[in-house]
């Protein structure tokens, strides 16, 4: 036994040939069209519409969505590779196109066939964007703390509440919205009583509020979403009612591999900048890569990046195989990869010296982008809690509640 896993073969990473073919196509797009626009996006905070449309034409919005709903197919590995390659140049671009996954996953997994046909197909085609509205002023990592309410009135549900830090809300046509439909029976079952709804943003009472001026991810900052007596038909409920907490948590288990991949891409981009600079910059008559203070940093950077990439691809492989261990691996990958990205970006700045903190050189932006990955999609402290809970579950056979 390879505790906490059962078989050493669980550590196998499987990457089909078509994934590498796809990666090369994405890399070509990134180098030819996305990377040249990186600093423009950083300065303006806007991703050009033509770049978004190009990504749609290349099928990026359909990755991970079954072909029967007009998607490109593929699973967690393909999605991770796409996010990594895009984030190497512009992390916000990867977020802008792939945040749809936080909407499509719960609908595909828990929705009716009618819901899938109506809402997944246009998202896969790039005809509509979607977002995931769950975070509230008092409920971020504490999903059970959601205060938005949904009250049944006749054949409809009426939702009232306020959501914050909702990525992609400004261009979303559809939202998945979490709301409390029943009070929890006791403190140990705080999770019970939440329900997830599909909401269209042009319905009366839905207001996309102001944009949050957060650090990092320039071009894809989140918005506030206000729900004022929004009427939702019964057919837009993701079943089962009152057990939406499970839907949300499973969605995040799936989505955090994308954040790990994004962090790997950020780290790779920062490393490449630092490595190239170390070959071009001379000091005391030598290229600075000749000094151990620089070369050792570069060695540590690439070692950490490859470890983060392997951990991320491994978690994605387990998820594609439908193994329970994927939850465990995803939390570890998200924690490790995002903290690697932060360290690597920091070292890249130091290798650049004074020009590293000059915004015009485009180096310090990697650190700002990296830090946000350690926070969203579940803070790294929450990932550590998930990891230890999974460890105790496998060791003791019970799901221990960590307080």
Instruction: Give the pLDDT band (50/70/90) at residue 221.
Output: very high
Q: In this structure, are residues 87 and 269 in contact, taking their beta carbons and an 8 Å threshold?
A: yes
SS3 category, 3: coil
Burial, 399: exposed, middle or buried (Cβ in 10 Å; 0-12, 13-18, 19+)?
Answer: exposed
Torsions phi, psi for 169 (to 5 deg): -65, -30
50-58 average pLDDT score: 97
Average pLDDT over residues 302-317: 97
The string of pLDDT tens digits covering residues 112-128 is: 999 999 999 999 999 99
Whether 400 has a pLDDT exceeding 70, the answer reads: no
- In this predicted structure, the answer to whether residue 181 has a pLDDT above a threshold of 90 is yes
- Please answer whether residues 218 and 42 qualify as being in contact, where contact means their C-beta atoms are separated by less than 8 angstroms: yes
Is the per-residue pLDDT at 133 higher than 50? Answer: yes
Q: What integer pLDDT is reported at residue 403 of this predicted model? A: 40
Alpha carbons 74 and 65: distance in angstroms, whole number? 7
Alpha-carbon dihedral angle through residues 329, 333, 336, 339, given to the nearest 10 degrees: -150
Measure CA 130 to chain center.
Answer: 14
CB atoms within 10 A of CB 323: 15
Structure tokens at 124: 């896969």
Q: How far is CA 88 from CA 22, 25, 30, in A?
A: 16, 14, 8
84 touches 265 (CB < 8 A): yes
CA distance 121 to 128: 9
pLDDT at position 342 over 90:
yes
The SS3 of residue 126 is: coil
Considering Cα of 39, then 45, then 46, then 51, what sign does the dihedral take? positive
**Active site (annotated) includes residue 360:** no
Is 402 a residue whose pLDDT tops 50? no
- Per the omega criterion (within 30 degrees of 0), is the bond before 4 cis? yes
Distance CA 84, CA 65 (A): 18
**380: cis peptide before it, omega within 30°?**
no
> Is a pLDDT exceeding 70 seen at residue 401?
no
126 backbone dihedrals φ, ψ, rounded to 5°: 85, 15
Q: Residues of the chain with pLDDT > 70: what percent?
A: 99
Alpha carbon of 278 to those of 133, 271, 353: distances in Å?
43, 10, 11
* Structure tokens given for 210: 């102001």
Length of the chain measured in residues = 403
d(CA 226, CA 215): 23
* Structural domains of the chain in order of their starting residue, each with its CATH number: 8-125 (1.10.540.10), 130-242 (2.40.110.10), 246-396 (1.20.140.10)
Task: Report the alpha-carbon distance of residue 309 to residue 78 in Å, rounded.
Answer: 13
pLDDT over 60 (residue 319): yes
User: 354-389 pLDDT, tens per residue?
Assistant: 999 999 999 999 999 999 999 998 899 989 988 888
**With 90 as the cut, is the pLDDT of residue 348 above it?**
yes
Least confident of 12-16, 95-99, 348-352: 12-16
Q: Are 11 and 314 in contact (CB under 8 A)?
A: yes
């Amino acid at each position: 036994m390879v505790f906490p896993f059962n078989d050493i073969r669980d550590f196998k990473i499987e990457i089909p040939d078509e994934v590498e073919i796809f990666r090369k196509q994405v890399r070509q797009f990134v180098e030819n069209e996305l990377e040249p626009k990186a600093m423009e996006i950083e300065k303006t905070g806007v991703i050009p519409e033509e770049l978004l449309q190009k990504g749609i034409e290349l099928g990026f919005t359909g990755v991970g969505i079954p072909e029967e709903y007009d998607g490109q197919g593929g699973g967690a590995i393909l999605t991770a590779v796409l996010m990594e390659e895009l984030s190497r140049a512009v992390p916000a671009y990867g977020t802008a196109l792939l945040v749809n996954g936080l909407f499509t996953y719960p609908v595909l997994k828990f929705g009716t066939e009618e819901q899938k046909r109506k809402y997944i197909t246009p998202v896969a085609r790039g005809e509509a964007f979607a977002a995931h509205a769950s975070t509230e002023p008092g409920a971020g990592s504490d999903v059970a703390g959601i205060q938005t309410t949904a009250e049944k009135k006749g054949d409809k549900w009426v939702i009232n509440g306020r959501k914050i830090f909702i990525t992609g809300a400004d261009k979303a046509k559809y939202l998945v919205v979490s709301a409390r439909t029943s009070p929890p029976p006791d403190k140990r079952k705080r999770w019970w009583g939440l329900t997830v709804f599909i909401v269209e943003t042009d319905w009366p009472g839905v207001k996309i509020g102001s944009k949050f001026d957060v650090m990092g991810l320039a071009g894809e900052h989140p918005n506030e979403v206000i729900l004022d007596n929004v009427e939702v038909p019964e057919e837009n409920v993701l079943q089962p009612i009152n057990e939406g907490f499970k839907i949300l948590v499973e969605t995040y288990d799936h989505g955090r591999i994308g954040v790990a991949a994004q962090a790997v891409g950020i780290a790779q981009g920062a490393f490449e900048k630092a490595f190239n600079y170390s070959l071009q910059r001379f000091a005391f008559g030598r290229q600075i890569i000749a000094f151990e203070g620089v070369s050792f940093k570069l060695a540590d950077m690439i070692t950490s990046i490859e470890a983060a990439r392997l951990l991320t691809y491994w978690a994605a492989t387990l998820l594609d195989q439908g193994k329970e261990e994927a939850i465990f691996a995803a939390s570890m990958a998200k924690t490790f990869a995002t903290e690697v990205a932060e360290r690597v970006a920091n070292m890249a700045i130091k290798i650049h010296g004074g020009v590293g903190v000059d915004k015009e050189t485009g180096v310090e932006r990697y650190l700002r982008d990296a830090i946000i990955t350690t926070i969203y999609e579940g803070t790294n402290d929450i990932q550590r809690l998930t990891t230890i809970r999974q460890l105790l579950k496998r060791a003791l056979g019970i799901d221990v509640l960590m307080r």
